[in-house]
Amino acid sequence: MTDLQKYPPHDRWHDWTELDAKAWPDKVERNYTLVPTTCFNCEAACGLLAYFDNETGAIAKIEGNPEHPASRGRNCAKGPATINQIYDNERIMYPLKQTGERGSGEWERISWDQALTELGGRIRTAFEEDRHNEVMYHVGRPGEDGYADRVLKAWGTDGHNSHTNICSSNARIGYQSWMGHDRPSSDFANAEVIFLISSHLEAGHYFNPHAQRIIEAQSKGATVICVDPRLSNTGSKADHWLPTWPGTEAFLCLSIAHLLLESGNWERDFVRRWVNWETFLAELYPNMPQTFDSVEAALKDHYSEYTPERAEYITGVSADQIREVAVIIGKHPTKFASHNWRAAGAGNEGGWQVARCLFFLNVLTGSVGTEGGTSGNGWNKFAAHQPKGAPPLPRWNELSWPQEFPLSYHEMSILLPHFLNEGRGKLDTYFSRVYNPIWTNPDGFTWLEALKDPKKVHCHVALTPTWSETSWFADYVLPMGVGAERHDVSSYETHAGRWIGFRQSVFRRYEEIKTGKPVSPHKRSHEFNPGEVWEENEFWIDLSWKIDPDGSMGIRQWF
């Protein structure tokens, strides 16, 4: 029992004894039951194990789950910190209703049944009056794979809104334009060159699962190149740190492309097979022979202006450094794993070109869909099918998809309060979830103005574990669980492999293990979680039944 252990072996999770670290130097044994779940503190959904102290019945600590194929037992600090969220003295424990004006802080505790009955009634009325699109679910980080979308479809409302237009939308469309997948899945573990733009160790997509593979590859000899104006964690760990001026990253990538073409270090067979070079020649070089033999000269000509010297002037990175990394990239065909997310794409005009130009380097090095290269996310994400899928939506919501923005790649969420202020529509019931728009958006006071006005937003329901600038101005604040208190399935392209993670209320599961009996399916997770903390999925199911109690609206059949 005192031998050092890396992780408790799976077959002893229900009866695991170890010394109490806090009792040191006394050797006090503690017996635990370990219950797995997945983290909800970023999108990576790493595996967690909750250690229930069998004497007190409380969670003593939360650590990594070695069985999780992406995180492999390793987490960033936010994973084990789930215990701080669970036992946080200031967390919201019960459903609350604002009795005074929004922002007055006059809250009264209500029951879940009251919340469901009141919300179910008002949503039913909206649907009966054909005002479906006045019900909106505005989510920042869903942390689950599509259950909420299924709910909205079953309700017949085009009510999904996101935060993506101020986040990943630009990077996504850059990738989409190349390969029809809007996210990369980088095989860092097997790469020989790792090239990162705004995708940082423990601070960018996909946090720890990426970080551990990047560092492992580097320790096996891979070269890590980091493009970042800041000397970030990644910059400090990188073999080459390229501190570009913000917004010039695309030019840097094209300069590297120029050098690969000039040196002849590009993968002709890959380009011949997978790139629509015929269209390129026909559109831009119609006077050249329309055969692949013309492509090299055409590409060289097309990218001739992206010299390292010009790149130095524009990006601030020295021409010598650009040449140095281009030589390294050119020496490792098919093993170039790259990633771009958010900052460079999101924070600059034309930022969508960053991912687009970066992926051009993958194409030139033939590192697409290869071991050690970069794939489309769909290759590695296991998209779970929802049970009993709802029918396609019969409605279009002009508040999130206004027709004057036909090229918008995601909902025009940033403009929602402006549309409300212009009188383009109103919201009967607005759910905010993992989203703090008053804080997140640059024009927070415009959001505040709209969210405070009951003529524009009749009822605002904040589904949240914690207080925020936005939840303070809601009509209902309904406490939602953290990673150890809710049920979801999710899968992400964390590495070259497919997996699906199951998140669960560890309190509910611990009850089953302790008693040796399954809990009744009629029980809800808020009956096991601290206080009356609940979760979205069970909340949506029960709310759907309240909206359509006798099934006559055709909603209840889906739940």
75 interacts with ligand SF4 by CB under 6 A: yes
Q: How far apart are CA 10 and CA 497, in angstroms?
A: 22
Q: How far is the CB of 46 from ligand SF4 (least distance, A)?
A: 3
| Token reading at 261 | 């073409």
435 binds ligand SF4 (CB under 6 A): no
Nearest to ligand SF4 of 207, 303 (CB atom): 207
User: Per rule CB under 6 A, is residue 62 in the interface with ligand SF4?
Assistant: no
DSSP symbols for 383-414: -PPPSSPPPPP----TTTS-TT-TT-SS--GG
The answer to whether residue 79 forms part of the interface with ligand SF4 (CB under 6 A) is: yes
Q: Is 188 in the site for ligand SF4 (CB under 6 A)?
A: no
Residue of 33, 37, 54, 71 that binds ligand SF4 (CB under 6 A):
71
Select the residue interacting with ligand SF4 from 137, 207, 507, 539 (CB under 6 A): 207
Tokens in use for 329?
A: 């990239």
Tell me the C-alpha to C-alpha distance, in Å, between residue 73 and each of 92, 125, 460: 30, 48, 39
Is 171 a binding residue for ligand SF4 by CB under 6 A? The answer is no
We find the least distance from the C-beta atom of residue 470 to ligand SF4, in angstroms, to be 22
Question: Is 251 one of the binding residues for ligand SF4 (CB under 6 A)?
Answer: no
Count of helix runs (H) and strand runs (E) in the chain: 20, 19
- Residue type present at position 174: G
Q: How far is the CB of 70 from ligand SF4 (least distance, A)?
A: 8
Number of residues that bind ligand SF4 (CB under 6 A): 13
Q: Residues 98, 208, 367, 432: which binds ligand SF4 (CB under 6 A)?
A: 208
Query: Could you say whether residue 34 binds ligand SF4 (CB under 6 A)?
Result: no
Only segment of 7-15, 24-32, 72-80, 338-346 that touches ligand SF4 (CB under 6 A): 72-80
Nearest CA among 522, 494, 495, 525 for reference residue 509: 525
Q: Rule CB under 6 A: say whether 234 interacts with ligand SF4.
A: no
Give one DSSP letter per residue of 294-345, joined into a string. Answer: GHHHHHHHHTTT--HHHHHHHH-S-HHHHHHHHHHHHTSTT-EEEEE-THHH
- Reported residue count of the chain is 559
Q: In the complex with ligand SF4, which residue's Cβ is closer, 339 or 526?
A: 339
Q: Which is nearer to ligand SF4, 30 or 486 (CB)?
A: 486
Structure tokens at 384: 């779970």
For ligand SF4, give the closer residue by CB, 76 or 346. Answer: 76
Strand partners for 502: 489
Residue among 71 and 321 whose Cβ is closer to ligand SF4 = 71
CA separation for the pair 156, 13 (Å, rounded): 44
Do the Cβ atoms of 523 and 509 come closer than 8 Å? no
Smallest distance from the beta carbon of 79 to ligand SF4, in angstroms?
3
The residue within the footprint of ligand SF4, chosen from 59, 76, 226, 390 (CB under 6 A), is 76
When computed from its CA atoms, the radius of gyration of the chain, rounded to whole angstroms, is 26
Q: Using CB atoms, what's the residue nearest to ligand SF4? A: 79
Contacts of 401 (CB under 8 A, 6+ apart): 158, 408, 411, 412
Least distance from ligand SF4 to the Cβ atom of residue 80, Å? 8
Supply the minimum distance, in Å, between the C-beta of residue 37 and ligand SF4. Answer: 11
49 lines the binding site for ligand SF4 (CB under 6 A) = no
d(CA 509, CA 513): 6
Q: Is 39 in the site for ligand SF4 (CB under 6 A)?
A: yes
Is 375 a binder of ligand SF4 (CB under 6 A)? no
Shortest reach from residue 494's CB to ligand SF4, in Å: 9
Nearer to ligand SF4, 39 or 311 (CB): 39
To ligand SF4, the closest distance from the beta carbon of 211 in angstroms equals 8
CA atoms within 13 A on the CB side of 309: 2
Using the rule CB under 6 A, is 232 a contact of ligand SF4? Answer: no
204 scored as a contact of ligand SF4 (CB under 6 A): no
305: exposed, middle or buried (Cβ count in 10 Å: 0-12, 13-18, 19+) = exposed
Least Å distance, CB 216 to ligand SF4, is: 16
Q: What is the DSSP string of 183-214?
A: SEEE-GGG-SEEEEES--TTTSTTHHHHHHHH
Token representation of residue 514: 């302790």
* Two tokens, residue 391: 């029918």
Residues binding ligand SF4 (CB under 6 A): 39, 41-42, 44-46, 71, 75-76, 78-79, 207-208
